Amino acid sequence: MTLLCVPIFFDSLEQTARDVALAAEAGADVVELRLDRLTQGVALPQYPVPVIVTCRPEWEGGESTLPDGERIALVEAASANARYADLELATLRRHPDARTFLAERLIVSAHDFKGRPDRLANLVVEMNAGGGDVNKVAWMARSIRDNLEAFELLQTRQKPTIALCMGEAGLISRVLAKKFGAFLTFASLRDESATAPGQVTVHDLKRLYRWDVIGARTKVYGVVASPVVHSMSPAVHNAAFDQTGHDGVYLPLLVNPGYESFKAFMESFVPFEGLDLSGLSVTLPHKENALKYLREKGADVEELAASIGAVNTITIDRSDRRLPLRGLNTDYGAILDSITDTMRISRDALGDLRVAVIGAGGTGRSAVAALAHYGATVVVYNRTREKADALAAEFNGRTGRVVAASMDKLCDSCCHVFINTTSVGMHPHVNESPLGERAPKFTPDTVVFDAVYNPMKTKLLRQAEAAGAKTIGGVEMFVRQAAAQFEAWTGTKAPSDVMRRVVEQRLLHSAR
């Protein structure tokens, strides 16, 4: 079983006792007491959970400035009531005798805060040959692919092993440590008490990333993005897995911008044995890269995703040894279904509608392509008129009519449906609306749809409500596109209400 270890900086016996109790309550199996700030030995009491003692020197990323001899003495004094003690491989090379007082409870560690150690394989060979009981290697991930090397170290371990990547790109090595049978993973008590970059909190590890149910066969999903840290997708999909009992975990996957990075990620992660990568969400800046990659591989791409030029969902069929990939775009379906459900009409009836699409970026493009595909008459309004003209020209006449119009004519538009796909009105600019201050000519049959979800009720939606129009918020679109992804990956109906609740709670929480 992979232990969940909470590191705690030791400042005083009282504070440490409090933090250890909190860690135990939060679900820690073991705590690491970091004695870096001590200058004299301390006798530790018995704590309610097993203890690892460590006094990390500055030269290995810690805070201790003591010379080796004093640090070793400090660890020895504290180790009487400890289950394990951690000493750096570099320290042990100079002081091999330190092993003797730590027999059967020595963690031998090596850290690199700059990147992957040059001689990683040699380090592990040296650790395996030495007298330690647990090997620990941790390094700063330069790219998400470094995690695979950490997983390989775990798969080929000769001793109980901790192999972790630090930094945002290394997060998955911390969560999936359990899947690959690591000796332990670290998680911080609070955001600010993390002892290494990229460490998640115990709360997030257990609640957000489903630590307790992760096993060797758990399927892995994730959102490929850069940046990825603020994505709500992990919370939404993991909640859906919880609700349906699907044996999966959904992770943020930081893949650097550029086609080559995306391709390198796909080529290494999809076939990696034991990872069970089973589905991907794709977002900025990789939606076009995903389409290009799938085409290059000769993979199946949904027709509308191809005509939009963007893939936001990839399925990976692991039941087939060739691991066939498929590219979808769940954004356009989410836009269409939000409208048809609100208007209680079928997709075919969209052909009778005039729809105003505000914005000509990625989301605007999805809306135009989808509505025109079903025969609607679409009017594109955009700040930069040339982009509206180009978008209209591209899709006009395929199935529906698409024209561009000047932004200052928006309020006089006689469309039945208005969709805002620009970022106007998005937090923190909550008092802005694509309509400006003018009262639009809405009727009770008009539908106003804002793809912006933060805030949940934008100024545009407030204007629409005041004019008696029907409204659709961005949360609806976000939840629908996520639900369609869930269904594409699992083949089961998505728990949309649970997913919606998670998004709303997150947005309410961030608004506080």
Distance CA 146, CA 97 (A): 33
Query: What is the x/- site pattern for ligand ATR, positions 389-428, by CB under 6 A?
Result: --------------------------------xxxx----
What is the CA 491 to chain-centroid distance, rounded?
A: 22
Our CB check for ligand ATR shows the closer of 380 and 507 to be 380
- For the CB of residue 426, give the shortest distance to ligand ATR in the complex, in Å: 9
Our CB check for ligand ATR shows the closer of 340 and 423 to be 423
Asked whether 54 and 82 are in contact (CB, 8 A), the reply is no
Q: Does 383 bind ligand ATR (CB under 6 A)?
A: yes
- The neighbour count for residue 148, using CB atoms within 10 Å, is 16
Active site annotation includes 497: no
Active site annotation includes 470: no
3-state secondary structure of 511: helix
Binder to ligand ATR among 5, 360, 460, 507 (CB under 6 A)? 360
Q: Does 12 bind ligand ATR (CB under 6 A)?
A: no
Distance CA 306, CA 252 (A): 25
Q: Does 328 bind ligand ATR (CB under 6 A)?
A: no
Our CB check for ligand ATR shows the closer of 85 and 477 to be 477
Q: Does 438 bind ligand ATR (CB under 6 A)?
A: no
Distance CA 368, CA 451 (A): 13
Our CB check for ligand ATR shows the closer of 106 and 228 to be 228
Number of residue whose CB is nearest ligand ATR: 361
Read off φ and ψ for residue 62, nearest 5 degrees: -95, -160
Q: Does 454 bind ligand ATR (CB under 6 A)?
A: no
Distance CA 187, CA 203 (A): 9
Active site annotation includes 352: no
Indicate which residue of 237, 287, 416, 470 is catalytic.
Answer: 287
- For the CB of residue 164, give the shortest distance to ligand ATR in the complex, in Å: 34
Q: What letter does residue 439 receive in the DSSP assignment?
A: P
Binder to ligand ATR among 384, 406, 492, 505 (CB under 6 A)? 384
The first and second tokens of residue 391, run together, are 């978008």
Binder to ligand ATR among 161, 261, 315, 363 (CB under 6 A)? 363
Distance CA 358, CA 381 (A): 5
Our CB check for ligand ATR shows the closer of 187 and 391 to be 391
Q: Does 361 bind ligand ATR (CB under 6 A)?
A: yes
Find the part of the chain contacting ligand ATR (CB under 6 A) among 64-72, 135-143, 354-362, 484-492.
354-362
Q: Does 362 bind ligand ATR (CB under 6 A)?
A: yes
Our CB check for ligand ATR shows the closer of 243 and 423 to be 423
3-state secondary structure of 237: helix
Indicate which residue of 19, 136, 179, 450 is catalytic.
Answer: 136
Find the part of the chain contacting ligand ATR (CB under 6 A) among 83-91, 257-265, 294-302, 377-385.
377-385
- For the CB of residue 224, give the shortest distance to ligand ATR in the complex, in Å: 16
Asked whether 5 and 187 are in contact (CB, 8 A), the reply is yes
What is the amino acid identity at position 441?
Answer: K
- Contacts with ligand ATR by CB under 6 A: the residue count is 14
- For the CB of residue 386, give the shortest distance to ligand ATR in the complex, in Å: 9
Asked whether 484 and 509 are in contact (CB, 8 A), the reply is no
Q: Does 291 bind ligand ATR (CB under 6 A)?
A: no
- For the CB of residue 331, give the shortest distance to ligand ATR in the complex, in Å: 10
Distance CA 482, CA 221 (A): 12
Q: Does 382 bind ligand ATR (CB under 6 A)?
A: yes
Our CB check for ligand ATR shows the closer of 188 and 382 to be 382
Q: Exposed (0-12), middle (13-18) or buried (19+): which is 127, by Cβ within 10 Å? A: buried
Distance CA 436, CA 412 (A): 13
Residues with Cβ within 8 Å of 366's Cβ and at least 6 positions away in sequence, in order, are: 308, 310, 329, 331, 332, 335, 421
Asked whether 34 and 56 are in contact (CB, 8 A), the reply is yes
Residues with Cβ within 8 Å of 30's Cβ and at least 6 positions away in sequence, in order, are: 3, 4, 5, 6, 49, 50, 51, 52, 83, 84, 184
Active site annotation includes 387: no
Give the footprint of ligand ATR on this chain (CB under 6 A).
359-364, 382-384, 387, 421-424
Active site residues: 111, 136, 287, 331
